Chains A and B, each alone.
Chain A
């Protein structure tokens, strides 16, 4: 069955450093890979989308890479700030309607 794996352990980094989160998947060939941010007690918020034929996408301090051979996406936040502390969800979407979500990785950025 289709499976998405995100590091269940929280990632702790120092302010100003680059945070790198990993998303691995199996038994799926997504057309799109999405990243969402979720703050405690709130709904997820869409951040970035990358297509299957794209290697990298950037938006301000965010960078996403997508390797369909390794079945892996890396999500980078450069110059991280305490306000970046949240849970980040990876999601896969094929050509149809349904989107599959990972469980997310919690990021803590210390001042």
Chain B
């Protein structure tokens, strides 16, 4: 199993550009999430999904869109990039049936917005 994969690993955007961060998992997990990690702060939840076709907002959803058309894929779209979105982005998945829902994280995408 590849686990959770993310592409790209690194990205530089100019203010106002849009892009999609890709996330895929091959563990048939129902739950998937997007987090951002900034220095000195904990992982903050952007959006999450409890199954295909179902998404919801997390703690910091503004400026981001998601969709979940399949169990495997959960892309994150930046609509109009801003310097405040410079961060490291992690996708995670978890199995609904596991008590406590331990999460499996991807390797991250380091995004810089200039």
The answer to whether A and B interact is yes
- A-side residues, CB < 8 A to B, are 4, 8, 31-32, 34, 41-46, 49, 51, 89, 93, 97-104
Q: How far is the CA of A45 from the CA of B106 in the complex (A)?
A: 9
Interface string of B1-21 (1 = CB under 8 A from A): 000100000000000000000
Instruction: Tell me if B74 counts as interface (CB < 8 A to partner A).
Output: no
Q: Return the chain A residue nearest B49 by Cβ.
A: A97
| Cβ-defined partner of A43 (8 Å) among B40, B45, B106 | B106
| Cβ-defined partner of A49 (8 Å) among B58, B90, B100 | B100
Least CB distance from A46 to B in Å reads 4
B42 and A103 within 8 A (CB) = yes
Interface residues in B, total, Cβ within 8 A:
24
- B-side residues, CB < 8 A to A, are 4, 31, 35, 40-45, 48, 50, 58, 90, 92, 99-108
A42 and B100 within 8 A (CB) = no
B100 and A93 within 8 A (CB) = yes
A43 and B90 within 8 A (CB) = yes
A89 and B108 within 8 A (CB) = no
Chain A residues with CB under 8 A of B42: 4, 89, 100-104
| Cβ-defined partner of B41 (8 Å) among A44, A49, A103 | A103
A89 and B58 within 8 A (CB) = no
Query: Could you pull out 11 A-B pairs where Cβ atoms are within 8 angstroms?
Result: A32-B100, A41-B107, A43-B106, A43-B107, A46-B103, A49-B99, A49-B100, A98-B45, A101-B42, A103-B41, A103-B42
